[in-house]
Structure 1
Amino acid sequence: MVDTWISWEDTQDPQGCNYGPEHYAEHSRDPERTPMQWDDTAFAGFTTYNDTWLPVNDNYHTLNVKAELEAEYSHLKVYQHLAQLRKEEAFRSGGIAYPVITEDIFSFLRYSVGYEMYLLVINTSQQDIEVNLHHSASFQLPDSGTVVLRSASDSSEENKPGLVEFAS
């Protein structure tokens, strides 16, 4: 979900209201507190009543929980998978290391002796960046690994979950 523009007439937040019609939008928390978009039915499935306390974002027809669950890849599915990964021993009580950190790439490794290790690589740039993990790493990484999860917006074949050979 994204923030929704809220008119002065619709604003509910006392903090925003205290600044009056000229400046309420600068201080109101209402844009990020609009009704949850559950599905594409009336009022985004938030209520069966004939109104909501704040307007529903117009994008609820395509951006809603039902659509995220039905999509092959979605932000909701990424978060669900991340929640599952948190149960792994490496994340619960393992060590952490930061093998590659550049201006655009941040990574961390979670590991626990006798368990799987997980390497997370985050590209903070707007551009695709190829990074040689072996060349840049501050310690020895394995030669291969399995892509377990990727960003919902990444549709590239080379990052598709499954076995991948790291460049040496």
Structure 2
Amino acid sequence: MPDPAAGCDDERVRLLVSTASETISRRYVLARHQIAAAVLDADGAVHVGLHVDAMVGRAAVCAEAGALSAARLVTDADLVAIAAVRFPKPTEAPAARVVPPCGLCRELLLDHAPGISTVVGSPNGLKVMPLGELLPHKYVGTKWPSTRETGDVS
């Protein structure tokens, strides 16, 4: 299966997308594991996560959450970028593709890595953008201090 990062000039994008793509290519199981994610920390290490589906949708675990957890098991370094790759179902064209984090993962990642960027597809290929731009009005609670600019919370 072709690497979704092939031809990309950004070394960081190639690393994250290729790692996620290789992971899901090895671990894909129909209706069980469809997405893998790779997160890069400030020290240059890459941590991977695997989507774990469930009969009850709410019990499923996204690949991005798995990658975040894997990173936090071994480092306190800032997390700087993440990419997720979805493996095609047997009924789809045989091409893995980069997917942006779902809404829950956007919230979770920004809670734990407020400055993180994500890889997304664009008309000109893959690009890196701040995750906060995909979620401009993130929920801000009171469990712990926020490091993000929150604006008026009246």
TM > 0.5 between the two?
A: no
More relative contact order, 1 or 2 (CA 8 Å, 6+ apart): 2
The two structures have a TM-score, normalised by structure 1, of: 0.30
Larger Rg: 1
